[in-house]
Amino acid sequence: MKALVFDGRLSLADVPLPRRDGEALIQVRLAGICNTDIEITRGYGGYRGVLGHEFVGDVVECPDTAWTGRRVCGEINAWCGHCVWCRAGMPTHCTDRTVLGIVDRAGAFAEYLSLPVRNLHAVPEEVDDEEAVFVEPLAAAFEILEQVPVNSTDRVVVLGDGKLGMLCVQALRSAGARVVLVGKHANKLSRARALGLETRTLQERVPEPADVVVEASGSASGLQMAISLVRPRGTIVLKSTVAQPTGIDMSPVVVNEVTVVGSRCGPFDRAIAALQRMEVAVRPLVDARFPLDRAIEAMERAASPGTMKVLLEPHP
Amino acid sequence: MKALVFDGRLSLADVPLPRRDGEALIQVRLAGICNTDIEITRGYGGYRGVLGHEFVGDVVECPDTAWTGRRVCGEINAWCGHCVWCRAGMPTHCTDRTVLGIVDRAGAFAEYLSLPVRNLHAVPEEVDDEEAVFVEPLAAAFEILEQVPVNSTDRVVVLGDGKLGMLCVQALRSAGARVVLVGKHANKLSRARALGLETRTLQERVPEPADVVVEASGSASGLQMAISLVRPRGTIVLKSTVAQPTGIDMSPVVVNEVTVVGSRCGPFDRAIAALQRMEVAVRPLVDARFPLDRAIEAMERAASPGTMKVLLEPHP
């Protein structure tokens, strides 16, 4: 099958079908390019193989035939079930996990992918493919609410006007928080305003220190800026993974007794329900669709400033 | 009066008595040199003036005469009482605060100091001067327990075998946690073992990832090491303030969903009670006492590797 492979450089390659014993084989309908994919091509995590972890597809083979033919999205961490973290109820932190397109598991920028059956989530009819492909990053946005209590009196700043920032703002707003999106791209901020979001540029002052700052800028300097925006004893949620170590002055974190919480994968059920109930708008974030044949061009487009979500279609 | 002043360089100077309207004037019995004092001489915080914030002394003048003549230690943040943080019950984060020997307020390496009456804590008879001078840093150690729930099943690592690390280990142990002190100085670690503490060198492997890691090394690389020692979804408590920004790879914080909590000043009552009940041993941490006249030499001694607490006596 065709797939986009990273082995130090990107190439479109013909690779074997990713069949794994006891798992479902899924024909990919749509896959989304995430900043993590771009960071991997810059060295993040040392991954080599088929990229991609955001997808919607159809189950074409499955040990549990009840799943065959169903339209699904899927959790990206495949866990062992018996290590100390799995037994502690933290399977996404499994010591031996593989992660779709990120750690030791061929990803979604391909005609087919393989995942354990327990990772699958059926996509309801009301959620179309262009929405379903956002379930994984939207779940990551909802993870914030699993980790940090946010209520309607909290002032929240989301730092970063990219696709992850846009999803975080919407997830937080659905919890009733007063959210301001702070970014540097005029075109992205105007799109955010079109979605009814309150926005600020980096140059505009945020009026008061925030109770919660979500760092979703994907920028090495994002944490330092988050530190400057959060109130004493406030919380910073770190969503971006950046390839390069960064010079950070952590002393304000100590002096202001700030809490910094790392945040990764989240609850698929909650993300699917939010799409089903139309509490979040993801389709306006789609900037382009490319056939898988043009995946390298699609990656370049996704990495260019000002671009939101770029989708790949393996079977256009 | 005599005082140790930092104005870009250290000097022993003759300065006016630090009288402030409505405050208590305290004759200093003993003052302790903290790493923060040393970091200030390296540029931390930009403070200029009389150094020192750990002390025990006698109230010699006070608007509330009930305090006159009493032996006291004192909270170091003087707050305004009407800013948003004071009104929110966070006076140590007051926007307009002055901080003894750290922000806009002459410190304790002097014959006398001034503090608001509400900052004073009487020292019980059972607690002698060499113990009472540890109340401020011991309170900072107890602050960890105000911020992070620690119980008897938690594996806790304290990183840093200096004086703050030794206080943190003892505060955490008093809460029933299983605590291991990790450090790099053989002489300090053997002193910790003499206090009954479990120790490891940096080279020895800590057997399992810790639930809580307290970074009290005062070293720029301490946070990165703490990140490598904490379990997924574990907590790092940052106690050290370091003058220089540091290159840190924060991506494991995101991937492992670690929580990093900055921690500063703490509850004096709890520290005094712990000393009174002899739950912690601080006198073994005293390495030297110098008269204030030799304060510059004392600072050099305090900054030299392997040294624990150095005390200053203004009225020997």
Find chain B residues with C-beta within 8 A of A238's C-beta: 250, 253-254
- In A, which residues are within 8 Å of B262 by CB distance? 250, 252-259
A50-105 pLDDT, tens digit each: 999 999 999 999 999 999 999 999 999 999 999 999 999 999 999 999 999 999 99
What are the pLDDT digits (tens) for B27-51?
999 999 999 999 999 988 899 999 9
**Residue B30, pLDDT score:** 98
Question: What is the least distance, in Å, from the CA of A97 to any CA of chain B?
Answer: 12
- Judged against a pLDDT cut of 70, whether residue B57 lies above it is answered with yes
Write out pLDDT tens, residues B110-156. 999 999 999 999 999 999 999 999 999 999 999 999 999 898 889 99
CA distance A91 to B44: 42
- Give tens-digit pLDDT for A23-49: 999 999 999 999 999 999 998 889 999
- Cβ burial of B293 (10 Å; 0-12, 13-18, 19+) is middle
pLDDT (mean) for A216-226: 87
Region of residue B288 (phi > 0: left; psi between -120 and 50: alpha; otherwise: beta): beta
Q: What is the pLDDT of residue A243?
A: 60
Structure tokens, A97: 């996990």
Query: In angstroms, how far apart are the furthest CA atoms of chain A?
Result: 57
In which band, very low, low, confident or very high, does the pLDDT at B243 lie, cut at 50, 70 and 90?
Answer: low
Contact of B1 with B15, CB cutoff 8 Å: yes
pLDDT, residue A213, reads: 97
**CA nearest to A94 within chain B:** B232
Mean pLDDT value across chain B = 94
Q: pLDDT tens for residues A246-292? A: 778 888 999 999 999 999 999 999 999 999 999 999 999 999 999 99
Among chain A, residues having any CB pair with chain B shorter than 8 Å are 44, 85, 90, 93, 147, 223, 231-233, 238-243, 245-264
Confidence of residue A219 (pLDDT cuts 50, 70, 90): confident
User: What gap in Å lies between CA B197 and CA B181, rounded to an integer?
Assistant: 7
Residue B126: Cβ within 10 Å count? 10
- A252/chain B closest Cα distance in angstroms: 8
DSSP, collapsed to helix, strand or coil, labels residue B91 as: helix
Residue B289 is encoded by which pair of tokens? Answer: 């006492």
Which residue is listed with tokens 């008269």? Answer: B291
CA distance B256 to chain A (A): 7
Query: How far apart, in whole angstroms, are the C-alpha atoms of residue B7 and residue B21?
Result: 25
Q: Give percent of chain B with pLDDT exceeding 90.
A: 83
SS3 A260: strand
B246 contacts in chain A (CB < 8 Å)? 247-250
Q: DSSP letters along A10-30, please?
A: EEEEE------TTEEEEEEEE
Tokens of A36: 């993590």
Q: How many CB pairs under 8 A join A and B?
A: 107
Predicted TM-score of the model (pTM): 0.91
Question: Does residue B179 surpass a pLDDT of 90?
Answer: yes
pLDDT level of residue A305 (50, 70, 90 thresholds): confident
Q: In chain A, which residue's Cα lies nearest the Cα of B144?
A: A257
Complex ipTM: 0.89
- CB B254 to CB A263 under 8 A? yes
A181 pLDDT more than 90 = yes
What's phi and psi for A113, nearest 5 deg? -140, 165
Angle (CA) A145 A146 A152, round 5°: 30
Q: What is the pLDDT of residue A85?
A: 93
Residue B264, pLDDT above cutoff 70: yes
